[in-house]
Amino acid sequence: MNLDSRIPSGPIEKKWDNCRFDMKLVNPANKRKYTVIVVGTGLAGGSAAATLGELGYNVLCFSHQDSPRRAHSIAAQGGINAAKNYQNDGDSIYRLFYDTVKGGDFRAREANVYRLAQISVNIIDQCVAQGVPFAREYGGMLANRSFGGAQVSRTFYARGQTGQQLLLGAYQALERQIQAGSVKMFPRREMLDLIVIDGVARGVVTRDMVTGRFEATVADAVVLGTGGYGNIFYLSTNARNSNATAIWRAYKRGAAFGNPCFTQIHPTCIPVSGEYQSKLTLMSESLRNDGRIWVPLRKGDTRPPAQIPEAERDYYLERRYPSFGNLVPRDVASRNAKMVCDEGRGVGPSGFGVYLDFAGSINRLGADTIRERYGNLFEMYERITGEDPYSLPMRIYPAVHYTMGGLWVDYRLQSTIPGLFVIGEANFSDHGANRLGASALMQGLADGYFVLPYTIGDYLASSKLEKLDASHAAARQGLDGAGELTRKLLGIKGKRSVDSFHKELGKYMWEYCGMARNAKGLEHAQGKIAELRDEFWKNVNVTGGGEEINQALERAGRVADFLELGELMCLDALQRRESCGGHFREEWQTPEGEAQRDDENFSHAAAWLHQGPGKTPERLVEPLAFEYVHPSQRSYK
Amino acid sequence: MKIILHVWRQKDRNAEGKLVRYECPNVSEHMSFLEMLDVLNEDLTAKGDDPVAFEHDCREGICGCCGFVINGVAHGPMPGTTVCQLHMRHFKDGDELYLEPWRAMAFPVLKDLMVDRSAFDRIIAAGGYVSVSTGAPPDGNALPVPKSDAERAMDAAQCIGCGACVAACPNASASLFTSAKVSHLGLLPQGQPERHERALGMVRQMAIEGFGACGNIGECEAVCPKRISIENIARMHRDFLCAAFAERPHVETGGAG
């Protein structure tokens, strides 16, 4: 199979216009005759379902939550980027494009990133019109802040709850369509399989999580907006129920998986406190605007922070990166925190933590200003740790946060299975090997509101799709498969809980496929994961039955998929013999310890094609051409 | 420390439920309340018992999934805190805690501590939005919004839809939830054109779902993890009254030809 990225012709600023003009339109009167399935109701899925409903399509929307408003986009704190240049500080569409390509360490498709930067402007207008209460200046204009190392203030925000407010905007638009009858909502449904007929995606198999009933639903196209797979690490900032099952089962039906090893480790999270830890909490990186990161200069210095004099502190980011200081991109900040902790200079009971200190800012600006900027974050920190960050420096440590990898899609967001579209974090597109802060919300909404609704129309208008119903053999086969898998999981009745397998998998992933990777470790992890998977299928204990609410069963299915995906991530990390962005191979680093790319051999996206159980997947390659942003060694010195 | 739990166990919507006693030895003060339940569930699983079903997702106090009543208080003893953010350091060795699901006619119990809150979605669907389709709206700065209005709108918009307000209200009213959305949009210029229809639609839907009316008791505000003020309820009532007086039958005025 060849990967055809379908990048439109013309200069980069015209590509999306050209594409929109070239695409076929669906006659308004015919739209209601097309049924589109949308799985997931986060920023991407929710905005897509609402927009498709507004356009007149017949939309069936599935979510494993009880309400579309619960999707994990809700937890995004910091903000959303847009090239509005309201601050007159030199921002432009081209600069946002440039920053994103560079920030992604030259592993994203230029045309996609440019489109994202173009659309960013429309997103803000759309959200304001919906009544999203963005922060305002006294004159009533929208406020901006600088975020995640950007040299311009292009981030729009709603206190520390930007994701919540944007998601509620999309959710309300979706509820409006549900009321209008154009979208039918199926909450508490988990997608367990993709129905592919004659090589084309035609539906999904789902399980009703209340009754346990399996349902096959057919349509003219399927859209997955099911989020990322960061929970493979067990501990991550993702919500506990975020999972890879929908994209993984689509992968097993033939959708290529792009760059699975590209994961983002966020530098500012609250450190692990014990074995029982169930998730990690992010502290917005906006805190790095006013907080200074340091560790003791000396190994094993256990004095309380206030007793360590300035001369015996190492503000290691400011020392190593004088021009960006504490605002270096996420991958750089995370790797440096790991480095100082591995040297034995970490702080806190576990030794896996660094200080994020506000004492200087509080002295300079006053506690009230700091409270106004970060009050809710400080409160959250105190609630979790029992420590007051106004008087003691915060302790932070990196944690898994986002996955840049995902199902491979072309410029039109279609996967390698015709009729299967993938949007938001679930796809592999726009962020390359590292995502910049405040860009996830931008991409989710760009895909859902402004890209997919056009491109899916072209697909529907130019395809000849036979009418069919859920009694089709492929649908029945999907139902049987899902039922059989569930019976198998319930029938093992072994000795170990689902969580114990998940925790062990997470440890291998974090240790060997986390912030730093090497060939030996990755090969070791592959073996360990395969052993663990064998044990899982012999010894997992899933209590309860299949025809009821059964949270252990839900988790078991997801962990079974993670146990396969983990091996693919290691394989991808092993094959990418270079360092780039969040993928740091210890064998490839500059003398200063920075990521060393190999553009000659790896300036491409890798997409893995499933070959059947037990077989090594095929590695396809999409070469990346950089015609506008010339690849350079990223330097934040 | 050791904590004794009495947990409401109910197999499904139609089954009869009862409180079951569990002991949780070795609870660490750094655990969250839900992490204590995770450990209990691991123990129950090891014994082959059915783990306690409870809803949770983000565990950061923002998704609104979690929530149950601890010793008679929705989300437990810490003000402004969801159960997922409630840590065991606020309890002491030997504490005996009673965990029950939200109780309201409009929130039927699904299993153990899980309830069906889909009524909230239907209240939003009855008008909790600005009717603007995706397209090319005016520039975000075309309509200035006074900072104080934006802030008050945001105060109301913070609602996470957890349902604690309903559980705490003696009338099982959803007034705080409904008024938070009515206020959020009613305070912004974008929400003005549909302000009346919104208040009418949402308040009526609230009654249809079987929620009670507001009696100005204030329990909702006391337990709200986002500290949403009952001032919003007053605003909703005012909008509803104005709208009810001004309401005219909807007349179609013919097509465009």
Q: What is the pLDDT of residues A528-571, one digit of tens each?
A: 999 999 999 999 999 999 999 999 999 999 999 999 999 999 99
By CA distance, what is B129's nearest residue in A? A172
Q: Determine contact, residues A403/A226, Cβ cutoff 8 Å.
A: no
CB proximity A541 to B under 8 Å: yes
Residue A438's nearest CA partner among A250, A289, A618 is A289
Shortest alpha-carbon distance between residue B117 and chain A (Å) = 7
Q: Which residue type is seen at A452?
A: L
- Is A72's CB within 8 Å of B57's CB? yes
Helix, coil or strand: residue B11:
coil
- Would you call A636 exposed, middle or buried from its count of C-beta atoms within 10 A (0-12, 13-18, 19+)? middle
CB proximity A534 to B under 8 Å: no
Q: What is the pLDDT of residue B256?
A: 66
Shortest alpha-carbon distance between residue A359 and chain B (Å) = 25
Instruction: Output the six-digit token pair for A146.
Output: 């600088």
Q: Mean pLDDT, to the nearest integer, of A165-174?
A: 98
| Domain A268-399 annotated CATH 3.40.1190.10 | no
Q: What is the pLDDT of residue B214?
A: 97
**Largest separation between any pair of C-alpha atoms in chain B:** 77
How do residues A101-112 score in pLDDT, each as one tens digit?
999 999 999 999
| Contact residues on chain A for B131, CB-CB shorter than 8 A | 176
CB proximity A70 to B under 8 Å: yes
Q: Which residue type is seen at A427?
A: N
Model confidence at A598, pLDDT cuts 50, 70, 90, reads very high
How do residues A17-60 score in pLDDT, each as one tens digit?
999 999 999 999 999 999 999 999 999 999 999 999 999 999 99
Residue B241's nearest CA partner among B182, B166, B187 is B182
The answer, yes or no, to whether residue A78 has pLDDT greater than 90, is no
Shortest alpha-carbon distance between residue B140 and chain A (Å) = 4
| Contact residues on chain A for B45, CB-CB shorter than 8 A | 497, 541, 543, 552
Q: What is the pLDDT of residue A373?
A: 82
Locate the domains of chain A by residue range: 268-399, 482-599
CATH for A482-599 is 1.20.58.100
By CA distance, what is A271's nearest residue in B? B30
Q: Report how far residue A5's alpha carbon sits from residue A411's, in angstroms, rounded to the nearest whole number.
A: 6
Would the ipTM clear 0.90, i.e. be above it? yes
Over B178-219, what HEC string results?
Answer: HHHHHHHHHCCHHHCCCHHHHHHHHHHHHHHCCCECCCCCCH
Q: What is the pLDDT of residue B207?
A: 97
- Is A276's CB within 8 Å of B31's CB? yes
Q: Determine contact, residues A580/A588, Cβ cutoff 8 Å.
A: no
Lowest mean pLDDT among A179-193, A275-289, A392-406: A275-289
Q: Mean pLDDT, to the nearest integer, of A418-432?
A: 97
| Contact residues on chain B for A133, CB-CB shorter than 8 A | 150, 153-154, 157, 184, 188
How do residues A347-365 score in pLDDT, each as one tens digit?
999 999 999 999 999 999 9
Share of chain B above pLDDT 90, in %: 95
Q: What is the pLDDT of residue A222?
A: 98
> Which of the residues of A are catalytic?
330
- Is B34's CB within 8 Å of A126's CB? no
- Is A380's CB within 8 Å of B61's CB? yes
Q: Report how far residue A439's alpha carbon sits from residue A264's, in angstroms, rounded to the nearest whole number.
A: 13
| Contact residues on chain B for A53, CB-CB shorter than 8 A | none
Across the interface, which of B48, B60, B141 has its CB nearest the CB of A543?
B48
Model confidence at B180, pLDDT cuts 50, 70, 90, reads very high
The answer, yes or no, to whether residue A602 has pLDDT greater than 70, is yes
CB proximity A271 to B under 8 Å: no
How do residues B109-129 score in pLDDT, each as one tens digit?
999 999 999 999 999 999 999
Shortest alpha-carbon distance between residue A595 and chain B (Å) = 32
How do residues A262-280 score in pLDDT, each as one tens digit?
999 999 999 998 899 999 9
The answer, yes or no, to whether residue A455 has pLDDT greater than 70, is yes
Output the DSSP codes for A220-259: SEEEE-----GGGGSSSSS-TT--SHHHHHHHHTT--EE-
Q: Mean pLDDT, to the nearest integer, of B73-81?
A: 97
Residue A506's nearest CA partner among A494, A514, A518, A497 is A514
Element (H, E) at A111: helix A110-130
DSSP state of A136: B
| Contact residues on chain A for B141, CB-CB shorter than 8 A | 86, 141-142
Average pLDDT, chain B: 96
Q: Mean pLDDT, to the nearest integer, of A328-337?
A: 91
Average pLDDT, chain A: 96
Which domains are seen in chain B, by residue range?
Answer: 3-110 (3.10.20.30), 117-131+144-246 (1.10.1060.10)
Q: Which residue type is seen at A546?
A: G
The answer, yes or no, to whether residue A184 has pLDDT greater than 90, is yes
| Contact residues on chain A for B140, CB-CB shorter than 8 A | 84, 124-125, 127-128, 134, 142
- Is B190's CB within 8 Å of A130's CB? yes
Q: Mean pLDDT, to the nearest integer, of A113-135?
A: 98
- Is A75's CB within 8 Å of B62's CB? yes
- Is A383's CB within 8 Å of B128's CB? no
Across the interface, which of B81, B134, B146 has its CB nearest the CB of A383?
B81
Instruction: Output the six-digit token pair for A151.
Output: 């040299």
CB proximity B28 to A under 8 Å: yes
- Is B59's CB within 8 Å of A240's CB? yes
- Is A276's CB within 8 Å of B141's CB? no
Residue of A549, A554, A555 to mutate when probing chain B, most B C-beta within 10 A: A549
The answer, yes or no, to whether residue B210 has pLDDT greater than 90, is yes
- Is A124's CB within 8 Å of B38's CB? no
- Would you call B3 exposed, middle or buried from its count of C-beta atoms within 10 A (0-12, 13-18, 19+)? buried
Q: What is the pLDDT of residue A88?
A: 97
Show Cβ contacts of residue B57 under 8 Å, excluding neighbours closer than 6 positions.
Answer: A65, A70, A72, A239, A240, A241, B63, B65, B66
- Is A278's CB within 8 Å of B38's CB? yes
Q: What is the pLDDT of residue B252?
A: 72
| Contact residues on chain B for A547, CB-CB shorter than 8 A | none
Element (H, E) at B243: helix B231-246
The answer, yes or no, to whether residue A143 has pLDDT greater than 90, is yes
Q: What is the pLDDT of residue B257?
A: 61
| Contact residues on chain B for A549, CB-CB shorter than 8 A | 12, 53, 110-111, 114
The answer, yes or no, to whether residue A342 has pLDDT greater than 90, is yes
Show Cβ contacts of residue A512 under 8 Å, excluding neighbours closer than 6 positions.
Answer: A521, A522, A524, A525, A570
Q: Determine contact, residues A72/A239, Cβ cutoff 8 Å.
A: yes
| Contact residues on chain A for B144, CB-CB shorter than 8 A | 136, 139-141
Model confidence at A463, pLDDT cuts 50, 70, 90, reads very high
Q: Report how far residue A8's alpha carbon sits from residue A21's, in angstroms, rounded to the nearest whole number.
A: 11
Complete edge-to-edge strand list for the sheet that includes strand B18-24? B18-24, B3-9, B96-100, B69-70, B73-74
- Is A131's CB within 8 Å of B185's CB? yes
Helix, coil or strand: residue A414:
strand
The answer, yes or no, to whether residue A210 has pLDDT greater than 70, is yes
Q: Mean pLDDT, to the nearest integer, of A371-398?
A: 92
Interface of B with A in 214-253 (CB under 8 A): none
CB proximity A504 to B under 8 Å: no
Q: What is the pLDDT of residue A19?
A: 98
**Chains A–B, number of C-beta pairs less than 8 Å apart:** 212
By CA distance, what is B89's nearest residue in A? A386
How do residues A220-274 score in pLDDT, each as one tens digit?
999 999 999 999 999 999 999 999 999 999 999 999 999 999 999 999 999 998 8
- Is B124's CB within 8 Å of A172's CB? yes
Q: Which residue type is seen at A224?
A: L
Q: Report how far residue B173's alpha carbon sits from residue B159's, in angstroms, rounded to the nearest whole number.
A: 15
Shortest alpha-carbon distance between residue A284 and chain B (Å) = 12
